Structures are given as C-alpha cells and as structure tokens.
C-alpha cells in the first residue's frame, strides 16, 4: 500500500477519536477544542500569507467557519456527517487519482485529477448510504443526496482554494503538525468550507438538522 495513503489513514484513525471525544465530552471541552483548532488554523494562515488583506480575509472566514463547527457540534451528528463526507471525498479522490491518474483537474493543484474527483463523489455517496440507513437522515432522501454532493463539491473546491494560496506563498504544506498531511489547514481545508455550507443550508431552512 502507498506510504502516503497509509499515513493519511493512520492520521485519520488517530485524530478522529480525539476530535469525537472532544466534541462529545461536553460544551466546555467542545468550545476549547474548537478554539484551539481555530488558533492553530489562523496561525498557519497568517504565517503562510504575506498580503495583509489576505490575512484579514482568512481570519474572518476562519472565524465564521469555526463558529459553524461550534453550531453543528451542539447536535453533533450533523457535524460528524459533514466531516465524514469530507474525509470520504479526500480518501476517494486520493485512491482513484493514484490508480487511474488521467487528465489534471486544475493547474493550481497538479495532483488533482478528474478520476480523483469522481472517486471523491463515489466514496462520499457510499458514506451517504451508511448515514441514511443507520445514523442520520434529515429531510427527504433527495435533499440528503443533494447536500452530500454539494458538500463533496465544496470540500474539493476548498482543497483547491487553499492549494492556490499555498502556491502563491511558495509552500507545499501549511505546516508540519500532522504526519502525512502537513499542517492543520492541509487536513481541514475541505472541512472549513463544507461545514459552513451545511450550516448555511440548515439556517435558510433547506432541511432541518
């Protein structure tokens, strides 16, 4: 098995229980965990960007994003759903991209391919079926399908957007805190876009969480 894939899987296995425990342990632990992640992500963003307006924009966006994390953590399962879709999209994209290769999706992130994009969607839909049958089922199945595809799309877009800023900064990773992933932002680049998206759709009443 590819060493990079092994590191990604092992990191996820280790980090997910830590994140899950921190979020279910109680409101104080949840808030503390989210604040720590916000500080770490903001530090990486600030260090990576030299442009002052980019620093401010990133800080405001991350503040909103982590508020969405906190909001969804109150009900927990919706947050786990969003995070699971992002992880499934990332792993599916990595595996399919490695196996099938093919045309590049964008010049911004050379490792992204159309095959990887399709793999990300496929694994996210498998994740959807698990949640729909056993854990979590908001609204109609069609709404659930749409929000899954949207979260997967936004997650992949978030990955490319962060890659764009990394490219501008001339760095490969936002940090080195997580083995196999680099910095915290390298791990949650899709999540910081997908989680606020789920929050916004719940807020406008697309479906009730």
What average pLDDT does the structure give for the chain? 86
Residue 176 is assigned to a structural domain of this protein: yes
pLDDT on residue 142: 83
Residue 73 is assigned to a structural domain of this protein: yes
Residue 209 is assigned to a structural domain of this protein: no
Residue 208 is assigned to a structural domain of this protein: no
Report percent pLDDT > 70 for the chain: 89
Mean pLDDT confidence for 88-109:
88
The helix (run of H) or strand (run of E) holding residue 15 is helix 3-24
The pLDDT of residue 187 is above 70? yes
pLDDT on residue 136: 67
pLDDT on residue 102: 83
Q: Are 46 and 59 in contact (CB under 8 A)?
A: yes
In which band, very low, low, confident or very high, does the pLDDT at 6 lie, cut at 50, 70 and 90?
confident
Residue 16 structure tokens: 């997910």
pLDDT on residue 50: 85
Q: Model confidence over 118-154: pLDDT tens digits?
A: 999 999 999 988 888 777 666 678 888 999 999 999 9
Q: Are 23 and 73 in contact (CB under 8 A)?
A: yes
In which band, very low, low, confident or very high, does the pLDDT at 22 lie, cut at 50, 70 and 90?
confident
pLDDT on residue 110: 76
Residue 173 is assigned to a structural domain of this protein: yes
The whole-angstrom separation of Cα 81 and Cα 202 is 13
Residue 89 is assigned to a structural domain of this protein: yes
Tell me which of 193 and 178 has the higher pLDDT.
193
In which band, very low, low, confident or very high, does the pLDDT at 60 lie, cut at 50, 70 and 90?
very high
Domain assignment of residue 173, given as a range:
3-203
Residue 21 is assigned to a structural domain of this protein: yes
Mean pLDDT confidence for 41-48:
93
pLDDT on residue 65: 96
- R_g (Cα) of the chain, nearest Å: 16
pLDDT on residue 44: 93
Tell me which of 100 and 133 has the higher pLDDT.
100
Domain count along the chain: 1
The helix (run of H) or strand (run of E) holding residue 40 is helix 27-48
Residue 45 is assigned to a structural domain of this protein: yes
Which residues fall within 8 angstroms of residue 194, CB to CB, at 6 or more apart?
82, 85, 86, 151, 154, 155, 158
Other beta carbons within 10 angstroms of residue 176's beta carbon come to 10
The pLDDT of residue 73 is above 60? yes
How far does the chain reach from its first CA to its final CA, in angstroms?
A: 38
Question: Which of 30-39, 52-61, 127-136 shows the lowest mean pLDDT across its residues?
Answer: 127-136
């Amino acid at each position: 098995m590819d060493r990079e894939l092994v590191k990604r899987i092992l990191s996820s296995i280790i980090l997910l229980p830590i994140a899950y425990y921190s979020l279910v342990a109680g409101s104080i632990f949840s808030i503390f965990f989210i604040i720590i992640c916000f500080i770490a992500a903001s530090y990486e963003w600030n260090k990576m960007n030299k442009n002052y307006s980019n620093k401010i924009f990133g800080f405001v966006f991350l503040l909103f994003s982590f508020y969405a994390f906190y909001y969804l953590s109150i009900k927990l399962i919706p947050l786990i759903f969003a995070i699971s879709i992002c992880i499934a999209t990332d792993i599916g994209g990595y595996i399919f991209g490695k196996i099938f290769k093919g045309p590049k999706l964008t010049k911004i992130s050379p490792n992204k391919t159309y095959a990887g994009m399709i793999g990300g969607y496929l694994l996210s839909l498998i994740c959807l079926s698990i949640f729909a049958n056993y854990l979590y089922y908001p609204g109609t199945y069609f709404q659930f399908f749409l929000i899954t595809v949207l979260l997967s799309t936004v997650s992949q877009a978030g990955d490319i957007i962060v890659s764009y800023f990394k490219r501008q900064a001339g760095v490969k990773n936002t940090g080195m805190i997580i083995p196999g992933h680099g910095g915290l932002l390298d791990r949650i680049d899709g999540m910081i876009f997908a989680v606020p998206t789920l929050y916004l759709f719940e807020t406008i009443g697309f479906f009730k969480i």
